[in-house]
Structure 1
Amino acid sequence: MKCPYCSGEESKVVDSRATEDDGAIRRRRECLGCNRRYTTYEKIEDIPVFVIKRNLAREIFSRDKIINGVIRACEKRPVSRADIDHLVNDIEKTLNNTMTSEVSSETIGEMILDKLRSMDEVAYIRFASVYRKFDDINSFIEEIQRLSGGK
């Protein structure tokens, strides 16, 4: 780290703490050359994940789109906002941990369905009906049978 005052490259960390939003680490440094103090911030680099849509268009991943879709599916169901946030956080964490820069919308949709299935079956069916583009009652019946194990 170069000193902003003398451009010296040797410094020591005097104090280190997380920022209020835990998005970065604030470090108070002292230059070993001129003994002046300065502050630096260390932040994790956000590498955007692109979503490849069905029409092969690409757009930046948006957690808000997932939240809005899941909220619509969970409307008037006993699913809390905290549960929805947890679902979206899990999906976002999984995507970030794959270290890939592109993911298909189908992959994200299946991840959402997998999590909704264990959370609320009605919300699952609602989301599946839009995501899988059910066009008639038979599509609903087939999905419900698949959900209930073919009974």
Structure 2
Amino acid sequence: MKCPYCAEPNTQVVDTRENEDGDTVRRRRRCLACDKRFTTYERVELQLPLVVKKNGSRIEYDRDKLKASMMLALRKRPVTTDAVDAALDRIEERLVQLAEREVVSQRIGELVMRELKKLDKIAYIRFASVYRNFEDLDEFSDAIREVKPRVSRSRKA
């Protein structure tokens, strides 16, 4: 690692610490030439697949775009930003686990719907109505039945 002060390539690691989540390593370094200290951070660079859209075009995966669509469905709903970020992390983790170079946008949509179903049923219905392009009330009713808790009726003796 080059020294940011004198550009000397010889530096020494003085201290190494992981953050609480274990996904970033902080290193304190000392330049062997000018003796100044500086900090570097090391994190894993995930290789997310390209997204293949319905029209066949390919674009880079964009977390911000995905978050914006989820936040639109979650508008005025009691879900924290941390919960949305955690859902996005799970989606990205799943995409990495697929180990594919490309993934169709419908697959990502299904992953988003699964996460929204866990976070907020109303947001799930909002997202599903656009994603599945509901054209009549029956399709809307079917989606509501998916998230509505089943009530078991017990007979009285």
Q: Same fold (TM over 0.5)?
A: yes
CA contact (8 A) 1:52 1:103 kept: yes
> Which residue of structure 1 aligns with residue 141 of structure 2?
141
Residue identity matched to 2:105? S
What aligned pairs does 1:98-109 form with structure 2 within 5 A after superposition?
98-109=98-109
The CA distance in 2 between the partners of 1:103 and 1:43, in whole Å, is 24
CA contact (8 A) 1:25 1:43 kept: no
The CA distance in 2 between the partners of 1:43 and 1:85, in whole Å, is 18
Aligned residue pairs total 143
The CA distance in 1 between the partners of 2:144 and 2:122, in whole Å, is 10
RMSD: 3.5
Structure 1 position 97, deviation (Å):
2.6
Q: Secondary structure at the match of 2:103?
A: strand
- TM-score norm. by structure 2 comes to 0.68
Residue identity matched to 2:67? I
Task: Say whether 1:76 aligns with 2:76.
Answer: yes
> Which residue of structure 1 aligns with residue 130 of structure 2?
130
- TM-score norm. by structure 1 comes to 0.70
> Which residue of structure 2 aligns with residue 119 of structure 1?
119
Residue identity matched to 1:111? L
Q: Closer, same or farther in 2 for the Cα pair 1:112/1:45, shift >3 Å?
A: closer
Structure 1 position 48, deviation (Å):
4.1
The CA distance in 1 between the partners of 2:61 and 2:44, in whole Å, is 18
Q: Which runs of 5+ in 2 are unaligned?
A: 1-7, 152-157
What aligned pairs does 1:47-86 form with structure 2 within 5 A after superposition?
47-86=47-86
The CA distance in 1 between the partners of 2:68 and 2:96, in whole Å, is 20
Q: Which runs of 4+ in 1 moved over 6 A?
A: none
CA contact (8 A) 2:13 2:27 kept: no
